[in-house]
Amino acid sequence: MIELALIRSLMQRDFYEDHKGSKCPDKLFSKDIRKIKNTLDETMSKHERDVSITELQALFFANNGTLTSANKSSFEVIFSKIAKEEAMNNEIAKEVLSKLFQQMVGEEVANLGFDYVNGTKNNLEPLRSILDQYQDDFTPSFKFEGDDISFDTLVDHLNLKFQWKFNIPSLRRRVEGLSGGHFVIVGARPNTGKTSFHASLIASEGGFIDQGARCVVLCNEEAYKRVGLRYLYCKSKMSSDQVLENRSVALKRYEPIKQLLSIKDATDKNMDYVEQLAKSVNPDIIILDMGDKFATAGSERSDIYLKEAAIHARNIAKKYDCVIIWMSQLSAEAEGKINVNQSMLEGSKTGKAAEADLMLLLSKNPDIEGQDSNDPQRHIRLAKNKLTGWHGTVHVELDVETGRYSA
């Protein structure tokens, strides 16, 4: 058997050094042979020499003292067969390993195909991941090169620490801005101005688009056209009535941002979709509105699957060097309160919050019966801040007609 010949060859120190680890993983072997290889790996980690079949057999049985008589007899037969095998040279070993990897990859692809047929997988990323792991001859594809930590690279990173500046002065004084790799959570109660908040950061004067950022807004709660209107109002500095009365002026002000802004209906999409977008489109900033709805409910506990989605989002930000801003609801506990906190995040008080570099919680003054409900004052609580360390509340104003924040 091929796997027995491999075990016999791996007992030679030089051969083992050339083929250990990912070059000859445990999953290439059947269940019983895998147990023998585990003993061999343990032995090779302790001894810098060849291992004889007698030594390997003795160590194996010493490590597996609970084997039944029948199982012990079966393994004795296996060891006797290993003893009869001849060690392979490197050329033959490479060919043998290629065949074993080919069988293994074929099984993994076949299992994925079964998942696709049954609808349990809905994107090609798992297949791409398998194919990326192996070379054309089916041997593992693994290359390691240390990342660039030259002086110039590190100093350039200092200059990009806050690549995209906040255009709200009171906020910018506390946190200058964001850069690729940052994961941000923005939370608020309904009708507080969450959508207007990201529209203002991106589209109003001095916003991310004015700084040259390519921005993608993924909407899975509010209709994308309504979200688009918030951006139109922000950029044009015009209310809905003013846009209708002065279409040419509104168009002239709005048109320039379309080259750097994409708004997409992402209803029923998940974090795999977000990763595919980040990989193919290469945006600087991705808005998830609402972030929670990109989570796949793989558990009855929302805190678990929301945390998993937040980890995925953070990894996407780091892997593709983009900012991800996750819009979130605050629970009913935050209704009518100015002083809101992280524990009021809906669905996951700590899980998704733990992944954030920056958490901004928006609130407004409580409505008072008989008074105008369009109070412009808003409060931004920096509930978590790994970027500058400052925690507290900044006070801003929201122009409810144009959706623009100012301070």
Task: Dump pLDDT digits (tens) for 47-67.
Answer: 889 999 999 999 999 999 899
Return the amino acid letter for 270: N
Asked if pLDDT for residue 38 goes beyond 60, the answer is yes
Asked if pLDDT for residue 358 goes beyond 80, the answer is yes
Predicted pLDDT at 297: 64
The 3-state secondary structure of 79-92, one letter per residue: HHHHHHCCCCCHHH
Predicted pLDDT at 378: 95
Asked if pLDDT for residue 31 goes beyond 70, the answer is yes
The two counts, helices (H) then strands (E), for the chain are: 15, 11
CA–CA distance, 73 with 382 (Å, rounded to integer): 67
Global pTM reads: 0.67
Confidence of residue 18 (pLDDT cuts 50, 70, 90): confident
Confidence of residue 130 (pLDDT cuts 50, 70, 90): confident
Report the chain's mean pLDDT, rounded to a whole number. 88
CA–CA distance, 316 with 260 (Å, rounded to integer): 20
CA distances from 249 to 210, 229, 321 (A): 19, 15, 36
Predicted pLDDT at 16: 85
Cross-strand partners of 133: none
CA distances from 158 to 161, 162, 395 (A): 5, 8, 29
Predicted pLDDT at 95: 78
The rounded percent of the chain whose pLDDT value lies above 90 is: 58
Question: Is 344 in contact with 364 (CB distance < 8 Å)?
Answer: no
Asked if pLDDT for residue 81 goes beyond 70, the answer is yes
Backbone angles phi, psi at 381, to 5 degrees: -90, 120
Predicted pLDDT at 138: 58
Token representation of residue 300 = 């009855």
Backbone angles phi, psi at 301, to 5 degrees: -95, 120
CA–CA distance, 2 with 102 (Å, rounded to integer): 14
Task: Dump pLDDT digits (tens) for 199-241.
Answer: 999 999 999 999 999 999 999 999 999 999 999 999 999 999 9
Predicted pLDDT at 398: 95
Residues in the chain: 407
Confidence of residue 299 (pLDDT cuts 50, 70, 90): low
Backbone angles phi, psi at 313, to 5 degrees: -60, -45
Token representation of residue 37 = 């290889």
CA–CA distance, 83 with 27 (Å, rounded to integer): 22
CA–CA distance, 184 with 363 (Å, rounded to integer): 17
Predicted pLDDT at 353: 87
